[in-house]
Amino acid sequence: MNPNPQSSDGKHDDDSALSDFLASLMDYTPTIPDELVKHYLAKSGFQCPDVRLIRLVAVATQKFVAEVASDALQHCKARQAAVVKDKRDKQQKDKRLILVMDDLSKSLHEYGVNVKHQEYFADSPSTGIDPASREE
Partner 1 sequence: MSLLGDDGRGYDLARLLESCGVWREWLGGSTYASFVHFLSSPSAWESFMRIDDSTSRAQIHLQLRCRALLFDKATVALFLRSHPTNAANNNSSSSTSSSSIDVSKLNPNYLQLHGDDVYFTLEGSSQDGGAASNTAPSKSKSSFSAGSRYVEPEFDSLSQRYRNDELRETWYNQFIEKYKLTRPYKLSLGDRESEKRTPEEMTVYLRTLEKHKRRRVAFQDDLHTGYGNTGLDGNTSVDDDTPFFPETMFLMNCVPDSPLPPTTRVRDKKEIEFFGVLDTLPQVSTRSPVMIERLGIRPEYLNMEQGANINRGKTPRKHLSQEQASQVSRKVIARLLTGVGFEGATEAPVEVFSQFLSCHISKLGRNLKVLTDNYRKQCSAIELIRMFLQTSGYSNFGALAELIKDGTSNLVQQTQQQMHAIQTQLQPQHQNALRMAQQLQMTRQMHPQMQQMVHTQNLSFQQQQQLERMLRRHPSTPCPVMDMADKDRPLVQVKLENPAELPMDNKSSNPINARHQQMQFRQQQLVAMSSLHSQSNNQFRQLLSPQIPQTMNMGGVVRAPPVKVEGFSELMGGDTTLKHEAEENKLTSPTTTK
Integer-rounded Cα radius of gyration of the chain: 25
Looking at beta carbons only, is 46 or 128 nearer to partner 1?
A: 46
How far is 97 from 114, CA to CA, in rounded Å? 23
Looking at beta carbons only, is 35 or 130 nearer to partner 1?
A: 35
How far is 35 from 54, CA to CA, in rounded Å? 9
Burial of residue 37 (CB within 10 Å: 0-12, 13-18, 19+) is buried
Among 27, 89, 119, 135, binds partner 1 (CB under 8 A): 27
Q: Are 37 and 58 in contact (CB under 8 A)?
A: yes
Looking at beta carbons only, is 47 or 124 nearer to partner 1?
A: 47
How far is 86 from 22, CA to CA, in rounded Å? 54
Give the nearest distance from C-beta 80 to partner 1 in angstroms: 12
Q: Does 127 bind partner 1 (CB under 8 A)?
A: no
Give the nearest distance from C-beta 82 to partner 1 in angstroms: 18
Q: Are 2 and 8 in contact (CB under 8 A)?
A: yes
Give residues 55-84 in contact with partner 1 (rule: CB under 8 A).
Answer: 56-57, 59-66, 68-70, 72-73, 76
Residues engaged in binding partner 1 (CB under 8 A): 14-16, 18-28, 30-33, 35-37, 39-53, 56-57, 59-66, 68-70, 72-73, 76, 96-101, 103-104, 108, 113, 115
